[in-house]
Structure 1
């Protein structure tokens, strides 16, 4: 690229001979430049890449103070008097002091005629109220339209989208119907179930089906017969397997009954022995130890009797359990035998149907062997019909694709409509917020200026003001204590911006790094006289600045100072370069960057209210503004909805 630029830059110096000798080379160079530029533009305009902007074309919103100021010079002086000037050229309607009166700073000295200003304020307030009412109605209507559009999108009741969607549904149904006709017909041919084909081979298929069903029926009967026979055998086998268990339980039951009989006999014997032992009395004169021996024998017999009763009870319980188990096994055996008999009857019935099924099978096979396949007829007619169905499907598919595009277009139109309605609402809201208050503010300031107040505390030593007259010089003079002030001046085009009470910041090289706060206490209504022979055409008006108390100790009469008049200031507000703001339909907007990810941003137009502006920046307010929001420093060449990417600013001399 650099070589091509050098080549083109040297063309005028080479002259006609160079062109004659290198005409082809120059043409090729120009073509190459065009191609490279076109390639760069295409790359820059790709929707996916977005338009490239450098980092220094983007600012990030943050809260700060915005100040509009005028810089002049001044001199520190020692002053004992302050002249009081009227800031408006209006007749005096009231005087509140006389010579010799003591006044404090801010006391009312005189009043100027304010009737005209008050009338203008009333008219302006009425106009602002009427405008706000009109804008309120516009905002309400815009909100209603936007609500209807958003609700229509959410509920699917947008007329355009509904119509496009209905057309899409109808075209989709038509396409699917044509597709089904084609595919069904093609499938019927491919798989051989086309009605025409079926008509030709219906007899063969019918016979084949008859043969298959007869074979299945015959095989199923044989299978069912085998299964029933097997189930009968299984039931008898299970019944037989229970016989041994039943016999064992019967033997066990007999043995237990024998045990009960035997135990019963032993219990009877023990009872007799116990009765004898209990009824026997010892002879007279028998030692007492004999009585104790008989008692022990009774206790032994009783214990034996208790053991026999316990053993007999256990045996009876065991007999009950064995009896229960025996009854269950006998019941199962009877059930299995009943199942076997039922299976025998079913097998007997099946055996009678098998010969008939075998006869049907043999007949079906005979009929199938006698049947011959028929040739496929009308093949060409079927192929033509298939082609027609395919063409119909393609036409319906094209209609469906067009309906899809129409629906997408309707949705885009719906979104655009919503975006336009939002834009209209934002414009209406911005209009409401931008009801011009500047003139009203100016009128109120003018009303304040009709009240002439003492700029400093002291004694009235002169009073030149007279009722009904329009003051052309100082109305009064206030004698104050000997103090330091600053005498400065302002240019004629700032005379309406600087007035009594204007805040001032003072700096001096003699006190480096220190700022002194001050306030204008006097502005001369007449211009300063120019020095004889001065080449300057500027017209200046003298100002007197009061230094706030406690700061004078660092200054001295005769010092030169820099004077910064604070014309206006907005604290803790958002600010952007003034070029970032553009106007449309008498409303102001900025272009913010909506993050789409991967360093891609969509430009979004946001309504703003413009506040204080200076030579570099302007303060802005708006409901959509947020801390750290990215904003383009200039809207020139950009617009709503564009996609941009942020790149590093190219170094000096680097190819773009």
Structure 2
């Protein structure tokens, strides 16, 4: 017995039944759409009611400290000891690491030894110069300086010879000038006056010449004033010398008329006077020369002292610089905070940052915002965020900066054309407990917020070349009519938009695209 024909008949009956059902359903749907009894379920519309609408830009961020300091050292010695690890909390001034300064200490010892040797030599030079000055001063004060003593002796001899010649002349003149007229006495007085003037001018000229020399040798040379004084003194001496020559010639002429021997003796007096003047000038020059030597010796003493002080200062500065290195052997925390990195390794040279300290009380989120969303983010925008370590606990912040320059593309995207992203920095405000530096965070940047707004799903919007509208189910004779109502968009999020032009309580179709052909039709809602 075969069953295949029976199976075939059943398949035909089932197929016919399906076709009939579809036809009936299609007819019913057509009748529902064309008729006035069309019904729209509650799931396809929303009743407008005021609520808070917030526009957010989601970002993935990294928690960092807003203030952190990398501790470095200028020392090049090896790291002797490291006292901290990443994550340790430290206080300002706490020793984080120690540097080996044995080489610096050896250099200090060497320089101190050299300084002692140099100081001994400089002190010897000072003492030698001081002794020379003292000996010269004592010889002058006691009248034992050989050059001055010899000059004084020469002057005394010249004065003695001048006095003897003058006395011989006076004796002869006393015997022969009996009854001489007044002109002779006047000429004699003129000669005496001229000789005194010449003597005084000669000594002053010698002093002026030495003053010019001393001024030229001084530390602050004034070559004009001494030279002018010397010129004036020379001119006075030359004038006095001319007056003396004239007076002596007139006097000798008169004396020759009286007695030739008397005139000859007067010439001897004149020669003795010239010798006396020269001796006086030589004595003055010797005294001034010795005074110059004393000044030179005093200057030498002062220079030796200055040399000693300069050498001591230079050596002291060099040792002080090395002492700074000794004091820097302990690398101390520049502020209180948390150690976020330790670069120092015991036994290796202290190169680069020894450690990095971050302030856990001033945290920021750093993130990149996509180009399309960067224009929506502004400084001061509120931020909420969560971290994996704190679960659903929500923290707060505000936008500090929005960079106008795109972030550099990651190395792994080389050769591609990545979409630009712009760095954003967010200050964490309020509670900081349990937040960890270096951790990640999911943040929501609140770009717009509106209280008591009327919002519709984005799919409820109809866009007619930039003009927007929604489909509203408005009551009409016990039913509702599908009405197209123009609206103005406010806040636009990924899921909804705030609108004006409609009222609270009105019913708006959620999927406008499915009902655009129903505008003007009456329907039942429920």
TM-score of Structure 1 vs Structure 2, range by shorter chain? 0.3 to 0.5
TM-score by length of 2: 0.38
> Which protein is richer in helix relative to its size?
1
TM-score by length of 1: 0.31
